[in-house]
Copies of this chain bind each other. A is one copy, B any other.
């Protein structure tokens, strides 16, 4: 899961750990809170061992003498994705197994939707919708059947959870409708960010991002 996220970020530019973590946090910050170093560094080592990324010391300044960035040892380490890593990313981003629909994994996949083809996007959105619908139904059952046996606070918690689930289903419905119509998400009323309106929005496989 972190594997996909790290590869996806490194796809845009080589980076060192600290920066990587910041990017990860803002990119995934909407669903997940933050990534800890205790997860990040092991993941980097795993990826490196598998040959998906390389560890490269940074460019040696501009002149002849290498100014030791941090006088002795502990120079900053820059990680870059390899060709195998790109393949691996494509593989991971395309697969939508059941585990893709739990909270954190869905957020990660969603964050890389601009690098995912529409078919896969739809599969993931619909899978997630089913998940959230099931959760919603479960909460409704509890509230309908067992309301009198629960204390006021537990009840309030269930109610809040139910509301959130209902809202997310609606959000997903909208996204799915948008996908089907071939558009790109974004607020139509405010500014129509859709410059061409041709309804493309996928087939952006090379590596750059045409999105506004």
Contact = CB atoms under 8 A, between A and B. Distances in A.
A101 to B, nearest CB: 10
B138 A156 contact: no
Contacts of A135: 29, 33
Contacts of A175: 156
A25 to B, nearest CB: 9
A50 B25 CA distance: 37
Contacts of A30: 139, 157-158, 160-162, 164
A31 B154 CA distance: 11
A121 to B, nearest CB: 9
Interface string A127-160: 0000000010011001000111001111111101
A74 interface: no
Interface string A159-183: 0111010010001000100000000
A30 B103 CA distance: 13
Interface size class of A (residues with CB under 8 A): 35 or more
A171 B160 contact: yes
B103 A142 contact: no
Given A111-B153, A148-B212, A164-B167, 9 more contacts: A29-B138, A29-B161, A30-B157, A30-B161, A30-B164, A107-B157, A151-B209, A153-B185, A155-B186
